[in-house]
Each structure stands twice: as structure tokens, then as C-alpha cells.
Structure 1
């Protein structure tokens, strides 16, 4: 797609991976509408980028609010060609200790936020029959981990929802694409403000990447519009290992899954979290507090091509080798 002078929307664009995506889109010549709850961070973005952005404060789990925000952004900035769904919530907690309202809140923001953003994007794009929808997923949508049951539930749902909508758009002959970008552990602020019942402050499980890698994968999806991108070798390992060794991973994560998500830092018992309201005092930044663990580079792989290599090319090569040896 041509990128100069276009309009994009990033839901969840005030921090973390979404914030990194905003920077990349602006660098590529887009006007960007940014949807998020935290008004302080949205004001920071307006001060930084001026007329290049338009912000709207709303909860992505509210379908009517997302639809209003999308309509207002399009009226002000022009036809929306790109919509990125990046908003998420999580809680580091044993499922048995998590109230039902907490589980529902995470699923509402992380899954229904994608649903509401996608619905609004399709309605805005259908008149011109053109556009890119990019849904931010996770390696945990293929291989869930303990103590993030609600988040993993939501991300599995994002996979299923995106596949269903993609097939509908193909059937209708629409030139609107739906891409999934499956992320590895990222150094984002979520570990500084997510609700936590672990004995230590949560951390991203190794290997850790900077959110700029997520933004690079999203920009590739905007350019190409392919169905799925796997980001980082750890996501590739999760996807294919879970296909072959799911029971082994169940036991491995039972043994090590909690420790992989704990830092060495003590966790204050009364710190604020962002489950119900945004946490004040944290800037509109892509980065969290684990930059010393994070790598700036990493692979971004077309998921379908990776599957073909594993399940197509390798067996063919083995067959050919067998013929040669025979």
C-alpha cells in the first residue's frame, strides 16, 4: 500500500507496542488517530506530534464509544486505511484467586477490544473497499502459560475471531485484509502496572525484545497484508513445539512457568494497577523497566511460509534424500 498522506488508527496507542506503532506510522507519513483510556498520556502525544495525531479517550471494550471515536477520527483526518488493535490488559494471578469480574475485565479489553475495533474499521473501510486491519496477538495465543489465564484466553480468542472475519471478507470479495502479529515477550510498561499476585514483581519471560520490533512487524503487515506474522524465534518455538509436544509443555510450564515470570524485585503490596483505571505518572512511552534484558532486533517471519517450510519443504527434502541414498 502507498503510505504517504494516509490515515491510520491505533487502539491502545498511548504506551507499549501500540505507542511504538504510532511512531512508525507517523514516520511513514500517516496521520494517526490514537484511542486509549489515559488522558494524560494522550495529551503528551498531542504535545509531541501536534496536528499529525488526533486522540480520543475511550475504553475499547465499549463498542459504541469505539465506533464514535473512529467516526470522529475519520471526519477530522480523512478516510481510515489502517486500523491497529493493540489494547490489552492482564493479571499475574492464580486462576483460583482471580475474581470473575477481573477475568471478565481482561477478556473484555483484550478480546472484545479487538472485536469492537475490527467492526468499526470494517464499517469505515467498506465504502472504499480497501484497508488493512492488524490485530496484535501473542505467542501465548498458541501456548498458554500459568498465571495469565484471562490474557491467554483472550489472545486465543483473537486468533479465532480474526480467522473467522478474514474468511468472511474473502468470501465477500473485499479488499480489506486482516493480519495477526504474534508477539514475543516485550519490554513494555505492562509489567509496571498490571495487577499482580505473584510473590515478586512480574517480568517478561526471556528472551525479551524491545517494542520497536513489534512496530516493525506491524508496518510489514501494513505493507503486505498477509494473514500472520510470527515475531522472534521464541514465538516460532512456541507455535511448533506446542503442535508436537503439548503434554511436555504442560508439565514444563507447571514446573517453570511461574518462575519465568518473576523478577528478583520485591513487589509493593499497595501499588496501583491499570485494570479498572489508567495508572497516573507513567509517560506515553513504548518501554518498560526491563530494557537491560531486551534485544532491539529479531526475526519477523511470515507464519504461512514458516509452516510450509516445516510441513512441506522438510518432508520433501527428506523424501529426495531417501531417493538419493536408495
Structure 2
């Protein structure tokens, strides 16, 4: 089946029923994509598809546990049968468990790893099996600053994001070796205000929170959509993502010390007393929970760094203008000093 008239093509978003994935679904539909949503929760799937159709695009929901590779393959078949060839596949599905490694139940750790890492592997495989024979398409991995720097209390998530990075680089080199025109990108996110902090399985004393500064999920969604339209292999989103990655490269020992000192308190919000939702580690949580979590009061809706990477020509022109102005001011100051001699 061909894509709908005026569509940029068919996109698949895993984990698209809530949080960042939900924001990505809406942003892609707003930009003209038809979107298939793969997730477990029926209510969230229905809500996501309703938003897609309200924006005038075709939407489709496929209840899927991404840790099951057979289920992901079957979902991809359904999407292509009903919507048409998949041109864009965004891997975003995740779940989590908060607590120290030694006190985390091994089954919980393995479950989080199967979703957060093998879910990306399964999605990438399903996408490439269809894209490579056609020699076109684009897979985007939603990564994290924590793919470059592990933090306490999230060992399963950090390990999965590190694994995704290595996996993606390996597959990318294979595509390049085979002269494939299929594209593979990684977009690393900062802390986002999503529902995951309300339904993560947590052993923390206080309510879990993303490590500040916190951004709204639309900031990340706009970055993913921009990469879909202007492909780049690697993109860092948000000022703190840059600081985290570069800082860790400069001195891992300093990062170790700093996170050991601040990583526990920085991931807990003692002032938030909302009841946690049931954990979604093994089963979806009923209800349509949308894109945002409970941190709207402290989340930023924009990021200067992200604006700059999505408006490179304008940012470069502004930079050149500021540089020229600085040179002019320095020159005028030097002339004034010479005039007084």
C-alpha cells in the first residue's frame, strides 16, 4: 500500500504510547508522517493514534512487547500490510528499576535490560530486514547522556544505553561496508519530564526524578524529528548532555566523585508526594498517561543548544555576526588606546 497523499512516509515509533515516545509520535504526525505506534498499553496506544488522526495523518496501533523479537517482526509485517513500506523506525521503548545494583531483584534487572536493550535490537532488526532490500530507510535510536556516563541507582538503564551505543556503531559499520543507503542515527537525550518517573519500579526513599536540569519531552521529540528530516549519525540534545559527555571524557575520576556525592539526592524529589503509579516493568499501566510527567513546574520547554543544532545555518550566521561585532569592538578599543598615547 502506498503512503497517504502528502505523507512523508510511514514511521514506526516503539514505546510511543507515553512519555518521550508519545511526544515523538505527535511531532512526526505534525510534520506529515503517517505513524504506527508499538507499545503494550491499549489505552495509551488509542490515545496516541487519536492524536495522529487529529493532525490529519494515518495512525495505527500495534500492541507489542518489544522484548519479544517474534512479536516485533509480526508488528512490522502488520504495519507494512496496512500502512505501506516503513521509511522511518524510531526505537524508544523503555522501562526501568531504580535502586542500588546489589539490592535489585535479578529478574527485575534482566527484564529492564530485555526491554531497554534487546527491544532496540529487535526493532533495528525488523526495520533493517525490510529497509536493506529496498536500499532506503532510516532507523533512529533514542539514546541518552547515560549511554556515555553511568550514574548510581540506574545500573540496568545505563548498561542498556551503553550497549545500544556499541550495537549501533557495529551495525552502522556493516551498513557502510555493504554500501547500503539505509541510514542509522543515535539521538542522545537529557533528563526529560516523562511519566517513567511515576511508574518506574523504585526502591528509593523519595519520589524518583530526572536529574536536573529537566526538559519537556517535546524538546527531545523535535530533535528526533529534525534528525529524521536532516539525517546525522550522532546528535546530543540539551546543554547538560554535552556537559556530561565532554566532562566524562576529560576526567572520569572527577565524574565518579561528583556522582557518588550527588547522584543519590539528585534523583529524588523529596517535595513530590504524589502516589506512584503501579510499576510498568512487567505489565502496562491502564490509562492514557500522555507525554508529560509530574515535573511541569521545573521543566524547560526549550534548549538553546537544541535550537542551535536544529537551526545550524541561522546559528552559524549569528555566531559570525557576534564574532564580527566583537572584532569591531576590540579594534575600536585598541584605536582609542593608541589615540591616548
Contact kept, 8 Å, 1:8 with 1:32, in 2: the verdict is yes
What is the TM-score when the length of structure 2 is the normalising length?
A: 0.84
The residue aligned with 1:76 is 82
Q: Unpaired runs of 5+ in structure 1?
A: 306-326
For residues 17 and 248 of structure 2, what CA distance do their matches in structure 1 show?
33
Q: Aligned pair in 2 of structure 1 residues 56, 243: CA closer, same or farther (>3 Å)?
A: same
Which range is displaced more, 41-50 or 144-153?
A: 41-50
Could you tell me which runs of 5 or more consecutive residues in structure 2 were left unpaired when the two chains were aligned: 1-5, 313-341
Once the two structures are TM-superposed, the CA of residue 91 in structure 1 deviates from its matched residue by 1.2
Is this contact kept in 2: 1:16–1:190, CA < 8 A? Answer: yes
What is the SS of the residue equivalent to 1:165?
helix
Q: Residue in 2 aligned with 1:241?
A: 247
Instruction: Decide whether aligned partners of structure 1 residues 286 and 269 sit closer, same or farther in structure 2, where only a CA change above 3 A counts.
Output: closer
CA distance in 1, matches of 2:157, 2:279: 15
Counterpart of 1:120 in 2: which secondary structure? helix
Cα deviation for residue 270 of structure 1 reads: 8.0
* Equivalent position of 1:103 in the other structure: 109
Partner of 1:195: 201
Distance 1:236 1:170, change over 3 A: same
3-state SS of the aligned residue for 1:69?
helix
Find 1:295's aligned residue among 300, 316, 324. Answer: 300
C-alpha distance in 1 between matches for 2:284 and 2:218: 23
Cα deviation for residue 268 of structure 1 reads 8.1
1:267 Cα offset (Å): 6.4
Contact 1:199 1:267 in 2 (8 A): no
- 1:45 lines up with 2:48 in the alignment: yes
Q: Would you say the 8 A contact 1:45–1:284 is kept in 2?
A: no
Matches within 5 A, 1:223-302: 223-265=229-271, 272-281=278-287, 283-298=288-303, 299-300=305-306
Confirm whether residue 11 of structure 1 aligns to residue 14 of structure 2: yes
CA contact (8 A) 2:25 2:52 kept: no
> Is 2:181 the partner of 1:175?
yes
Report the TM-score when normalising by structure 1.
0.88
Task: Choose from 24, 27, 32 the match for 1:21.
Answer: 24
Local SS of the residue matching 2:207 = strand
- Mapping 1:67-216, distance limit 5 Å: 67-216=73-222
**SS of equivalent to 1:192:** helix
Q: Which has the higher strand share?
A: 1
- For these two proteins, the number of residue pairs brought into alignment is 300
Please state how far the C-alpha of 1:46 moved relative to its aligned partner. 3.3
Instruction: Give the match for residue 311 of structure 1.
Output: none
